Structure 1
Amino acid sequence: MSELRIRAAVPADLDAVLAFWTTAAEGTSISDDRDGVERLLARDPEALVLAESGGDLVGTVIAGFDGWRCHLYRLAVHPGHRRRGVGSALLAAAEERFVRLGGRRGDAMVLTRNDTAHHAWRAAGYTAQEQWRRWVKPLA
């Protein structure tokens, strides 16, 4: 694999990111559209972290920090680049960002049915907190 480059996304990346998620990410979110990702970058320009190899997008993670909690979303690695350290590099970049911002603990949104992701998160040192449930209410 070519040298891995980790960087923050810029607005010009958004169409490629959205297309990438249809191939590499599991499930969809109400915010998986151009407007949603544009709002993310406008509020926190360094939150969407990309991994590139040979100029190709091979991974993403959203590392959002609200001043209180460190949230991880959309950790996705292209199927042809999995098990090569891309996810680990993205998580390391996200965690470094959180520490730099004063964060104390990262939490990840992981689909219950995504067993492959569960293994990856465990390998990265994350554990499920069974005592918590996510409660949601669509606002739009």
Structure 2
Amino acid sequence: MIDLTIRSATSDDVSALLDFWESAAEETSISDDEAGVSRLIARDAEAVVIAERAGRMVGTVIAGSDGWRCHLYRLAVDPSMRRQGVGSALLETAEHRFITLGGRRGDAMVLERNELGQRAWHAAGYAPEPHWRRWTKPLV
């Protein structure tokens, strides 16, 4: 594995996160704006996990918990750094956070059309639940 620094986000990371997701993530979301990311970091900075190599952001994952369930979002790795252990390191950190918070299961939101993401989650031991489909509704 490459030399990585794993850390929580700060308010100074908001613009860099948005830029990173634009280039490294499959697609943006309705909540991918400065106000939304700033609120998340202000509420729970430890939920936003950043991997850096030589001071450069190379991966992210959001590891959120509502105190009962554990949710994973925005697993993204710089395309030039994929298959080098960045995603695994991020998920290990997220899963450790969940265990520390008392979580018993992590679920990941993966777009059906995101085949690369589906393969990555499968390789990490996650599987789609056959009897559930996530239903969402934009609130704004």
TM-score of the two chains, using structure 2 as the length reference: 0.97
Aligned twin of 1:61: 61
CA offsets, 1:7-56, max 9 Å, x none? 00100011111000000001111110110011111111200000000110
Task: Point out where structure 1 has 5 or more consecutive residues left out of the alignment.
Answer: none
Q: For residue 2 of structure 1, report the CA deviation from its aligned partner.
A: 5.6
Task: Point out where structure 2 has 5 or more consecutive residues left out of the alignment.
Answer: none
RMSD: 1.1
Correspondence list, 1:1-140, <5 A: 3-140=3-140
Q: Count matched residues.
A: 140
Q: Distance in 2 between matches of 1:99 and 1:2?
A: 25
Q: Distance in 2 between matches of 1:127 and 1:31?
A: 25
CA change 1:138–1:6 in 2 (3 A) is same
Q: Distance in 2 between matches of 1:119 and 1:45?
A: 28
Percent identical among aligned pairs is: 65
Equivalent AA in structure 1 for residue 56 of structure 2: D
Structure 1 contact 9–45 (Cα < 8 Å) conserved: yes
Equivalent AA in structure 1 for residue 30 of structure 2: I
Q: Distance in 2 between matches of 1:110 and 1:39?
A: 23
Equivalent AA in structure 1 for residue 31 of structure 2: S
> 40-49 or 59-68, which moves further after superposition?
40-49
Structure 2 contact 10–41 (Cα < 8 Å) conserved: yes
